[in-house]
């Protein structure tokens, strides 16, 4: 594992000195994965500061005079714009971050303005790092319709990642919901540019990435046909190849609050708030009870959390440990 020993001044930045120890560990792990595998998925739970972690990674690459692009949904753009502007409410104004912010939908545009950026003149292929917020929106992979129009995933691959300079991809999401294992593979393809030979010799796996996910999807299909009593997470874990977990370990960081509270100093971080049980403040109406007594069929949604047991020795941020959410797979059965 490549580990950055020289942060090139990033350790003196405002954003680095605002991070907790678990966030600093994540920054170092992300940079290591980006340099080795060209991509990383950061899927920490809500409230663990994924945005500040990503900003510290951005600052590291900007200190190396690299261009950075943040792709986010339009509703999140104000959040990202604030941290790069000279605003009174910007706690990182002294870092003078200069990354570009564009929307997911801008990938489908060839002219007009997105904020202050003229899309007709933009050199999409010049970005050394692309940070994709809410990356699960690209889980369906590439596609071209009958009229030859590319979807956003294909445009991202062909306009930003494949041409020009080497482009690293950092993917952020607190809800990495996947309906199929192939959805996760599609997201990882952004890191190896659709050519899994990029990872040959880097992954300690027996099979290729395509074969690993084909076998994983086959195992899941067989598991989903089992009876309710046999369809357990432990059963699915045993059916999946070890190569599958090797790939997830290599490019994924997904920690829960329980993990942080177990392996880090909770006094430094502060106690996480306790989730209160829901409270019903109105009595159900007769119509509600009639609906409950009416037989109807509804697909049952099942969420599968796949985690791995810890390795020998202390839990490292790039290894497996209890509480890491390796994969959240939500399916309809």
Q: pLDDT by residue (tens digit) across 39-96?
A: 999 999 888 899 999 999 999 999 999 999 999 999 999 999 999 999 999 999 999 9
Rounded Cα distance, 160 and 69, in Å: 10
Distances in Å between the Cα of 195 and the Cα atoms of 33, 113, 157 are 17, 33, 11
Which domains can be identified in the chain, with CATH numbers?
A: 10-205+251-269 (3.40.50.300)
Q: pLDDT tens, 6-38?
A: 565 667 899 999 999 999 999 999 999 999 999
Q: Counting beta carbons within 10 angstroms of the beta carbon of residue 130, is it exposed (0 to 12), middle (13 to 18) or buried (19 or more)?
A: buried
Percent of the chain beyond pLDDT 70?
A: 79
Exposed/middle/buried for residue 82 (C-beta within 10 Å: 0-12, 13-18, 19+): middle
**118 phi and psi, to 5 degrees?**
-85, 110
Q: What pLDDT score does 93 carry?
A: 92
Q: What is the pTM of this model?
A: 0.80
């Amino acid at each position: 594992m490549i580990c950055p020993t020289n942060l090139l001044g990033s350790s003196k930045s405002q954003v680095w000195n605002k991070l907790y120890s678990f966030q600093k560990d994540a920054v170092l792990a992300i940079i290591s994965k980006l340099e080795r595998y060209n991509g990383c998925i950061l899927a920490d739970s809500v409230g663990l500061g994924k945005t500040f972690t990503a900003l510290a990674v951005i600052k590291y690459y900007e200190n190396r005079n690299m261009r950075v692009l943040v792709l986010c949904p339009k509703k999140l753009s104000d959040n990202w714009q604030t941290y790069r502007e000279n605003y009174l409410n910007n706690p990182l104004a002294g870092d003078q971050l200069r990354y570009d912010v564009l929307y997911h939908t801008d990938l489908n545009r060839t002219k007009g303005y997105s904020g202050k950026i003229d899309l007709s003149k933009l050199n999409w292929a010049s970005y050394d790092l692309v940070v994709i917020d809410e990356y699960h929106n690209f889980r369906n992979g590439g596609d071209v319709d009958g009229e030859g129009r590319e979807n956003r995933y294909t445009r991202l691959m062909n306009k930003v990642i494949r041409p020009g300079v080497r482009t690293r991809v950092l993917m952020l999401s607190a809800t990495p919901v996947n309906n199929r294992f192939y959805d996760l593979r599609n997201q990882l393809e952004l890191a190896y540019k659709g050519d899994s030979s990029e990872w040959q010799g880097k992954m300690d796996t027996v099979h290729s990435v395509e074969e690993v996910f084909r076998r994983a999807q086959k195992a899941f299909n067989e598991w989903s046909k089992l009876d309710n009593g046999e369809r357990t997470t432990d059963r699915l874990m045993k059916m999946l190849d070890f190569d599958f977990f090797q790939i997830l370990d290599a490019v994924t960081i997904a920690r829960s609050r329980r993990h942080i509270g177990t392996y880090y100093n909770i006094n430094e971080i502060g106690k996480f708030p306790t989730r209160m049980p829901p409270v019903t403040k109105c009595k159900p109406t007769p119509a509600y009870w009639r609906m409950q007594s009416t037989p109807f069929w509804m697909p049952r949604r099942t969420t599968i959390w796949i985690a791995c047991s810890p390795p020998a020795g202390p839990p490292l941020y790039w290894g497996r440990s209890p509480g890491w959410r390796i994969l959240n797979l939500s399916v309809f059965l």
